């Protein structure tokens, strides 16, 4: 197995996106439906990142 890939701009973008969605849901437009949708969005962002990072790690794909 290859070494863990370095954190790049796509990893930072995933974290910033998730934090921004949660800030909108809890500060700008708080409400149960908005917060539920925000957590679903954060889950989708995390899953995309997880697959992307795993692909970089296992197959050594450079982006």
Looking at residues 31-39, what average pLDDT do you find?
97
Residue range of the domain that includes 29: 9-59
Please determine, for residue 14, whether its predicted confidence score (pLDDT) is greater than 70. Answer: yes
- Whether 1 maps to a domain, the answer reads no
- Whether 33 maps to a domain, the answer reads yes
What is the band of 10 on the pLDDT scale with cuts at 50, 70, 90?
A: very high
pTM to 2 decimals? Answer: 0.84
- When divided into structural domains, the chain yields a total of 1
What is the band of 1 on the pLDDT scale with cuts at 50, 70, 90?
A: low
Q: What is the dihedral of CA 54, 57, 60, 63, to 10 degrees?
A: 60
Q: What is the dihedral sign for C-alpha 35, 37, 43, 7?
A: negative
- Whether 3 maps to a domain, the answer reads no
């Amino acid at each position: 197995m290859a070494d863990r890939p370095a954190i790049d701009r796509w990893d930072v973008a995933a974290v910033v996106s998730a934090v921004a969605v949660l800030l909108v849901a809890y500060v700008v437009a708080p409400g149960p439906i908005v917060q539920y949708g925000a957590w679903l969005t954060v889950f989708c962002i995390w899953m995309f990142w997880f697959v992307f990072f795993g692909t970089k790690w296992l197959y050594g794909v450079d982006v």
